[in-house]
Amino acid sequence: MSKQLADLQERWTALLRLIQNWCEVQLVYTPHVASLISQTPPLQEMSTSPGNTAPPSSLPENILLFLPSSLPQHIRALSELQMICKLEQRLREPQADDALAEIRHQRQVIQGLWQFKQLNVSGTGNRPNTRMLKLYRQFNDKTERAAAKYRTARNALDVLDPGGAWSKQMKELNKKDISGPGRDPEDTSTMNSRYEPSWIWLVPRASVAEMDENEFNENMQVEWVKARAHMRRWNEEVMIIKEEMRRVLAYHQWKAAWWMEQSFFQGDEAIVISGYAHKQAAISIQIAEQCAGYWLPYLKEKDIVVSWASEFENLLDDTGSQVSVQDIVGGEGEFDGDDDELDMEEGEDDDLFDFSDD
């Protein structure tokens, strides 16, 4: 229970921060809502303690956002808010269309569950039926949330553009309309009558308005920038992985050399300490050999060139003979312990990110 309360508190806090950011931006574009916001209770951090008796209206999910569709008529009719109202209308139409598509999808899943139960779940025991009822409630809750989203979007459209072209496809959604796609197994009212599908299955998806050339170019520019940012991130990840490979190999070589230095111990316990140091050095070299055996052939197979590959080729022995610790720790590529920044090969980034037209 405490874990659930902590998660709820974290979500409330995140939602409050988003609402606060929204209010700051909203005052820039619609300063007329300042008087309405001043009449609402101030945003406060919610508490999930058992003694919290906050009214439902003060919960973050119930705070009014004062979108154009929820403003009074005398404010919404102002000329400077007409563009904002059109923007919300453009948002609400696909929102309602997506919510209606989600309702249809959830209803298809629910009917599939009932068919699966009839064909595969045998018997009348509590265990199989309880599981099916639990799944049914989960998908039914998703359907109810999608229906609430559709009603909210449709109500906003009814305020912003009453009787518009959207009303031909987006009708009022009643509880009885959430049915189908076929006859519901639990519905006994239509067993002996002709089944009529709900209107939600008879309307097509709303057609997307044609974009002009300028809007199309802007959208393509945004998509290009996103793709370029993803490509640069992938290249950065490849660079980091290659550097991590080099540092792992160099560290184990350096560690093996450090253990070999500890083997030159003078005293009564010299034999024991020297043997232990040789053992630890061999372990480090074995780890380096395994890593090099995994990484270097794979990089070569994928034609990924790394400048440090030649420094650690001595870790690979094609003949299968035992590689001595002294031969490896005496090679190049010791780990100096410096945490330098990654060095890119000259011209690599420029060539990869050159998007100039030829």
Task: Tell how far CA 333 is from the center of its chain.
Answer: 40
Query: Which of 156, 143, 90, 88 shows the shortest CA–CA distance to 113?
Result: 143
The residue ranking higher by pLDDT, 317 or 236, is 236
Q: What is the signed CA dihedral for 279, 284, 286, 289, rounded to 10 degrees? A: -150
Highest mean pLDDT out of 31-45, 55-69, 125-139, 247-261: 247-261
- pLDDT score at 297: 87
Share of the chain above pLDDT 90, in %: 11
Give me the mean pLDDT over the 170-191 stretch: 74
Helices (H), the chain: 2-29, 34-38, 73-76, 82-120, 126-160, 213-262, 270-301, 325-329, 348-352
Cis peptide before 181 (omega within 30 of 0): yes
Q: Tell me what the pLDDT averaged over the chain comes to.
A: 76
- Please report the DSSP string for 52-97 in residue order: ----GGGSGGG-----GGGS-HHHHTSGGGHHHHHHHHHHHHHHHH
pLDDT of residue 1: 66
Whether 48 has a pLDDT exceeding 50, the answer reads: no
Two structure tokens written together for 167: 């009303």
3-state secondary structure of 335: coil
pLDDT at 254: 92
Degrees to nearest 5, angle at CA 134 with 128 and 137: 140
Q: What secondary structure does DSSP assign to 141-156, as a single string?
A: HHHHHHHHHHHHHHHH
- Which pLDDT value is given to residue 308? 84
- Residue 351: the pLDDT is 44
d(C-alpha 312, C-alpha 332), whole Å: 8
pLDDT of amino acid 247:
93
End-to-end CA distance of the chain: 63
pLDDT digits (tens, 9 = 90+) for 86-136: 888 888 888 888 898 888 888 888 888 777 776 665 555 555 567 777 778
In the chain, where the domains are located: 1-66, 82-187+194-209, 235-350
Can you give the pLDDT at residue 334?
42
Return the pLDDT at 164.
Answer: 83
Predicted pLDDT of residue 122: 55
Q: Tell me: the pLDDT tens digits for 52-85?
A: 545 455 677 777 788 888 888 888 888 888 888 8
For helices 270-301 and 213-262, angle between their N-to-C axes, nearest 10 degrees: 150
Lowest mean pLDDT among 203-207, 223-227, 245-249: 203-207
pLDDT digits (tens, 9 = 90+) for 288-342: 888 988 888 888 888 888 888 887 877 775 543 444 444 544 544 444 444 444 4
Place of tokens 């009449």: 39
Of 259, 250, 245, residue with least CA distance to 311: 250
CA distance 257 to 29: 66
Under DSSP, the state recorded for 355 is -
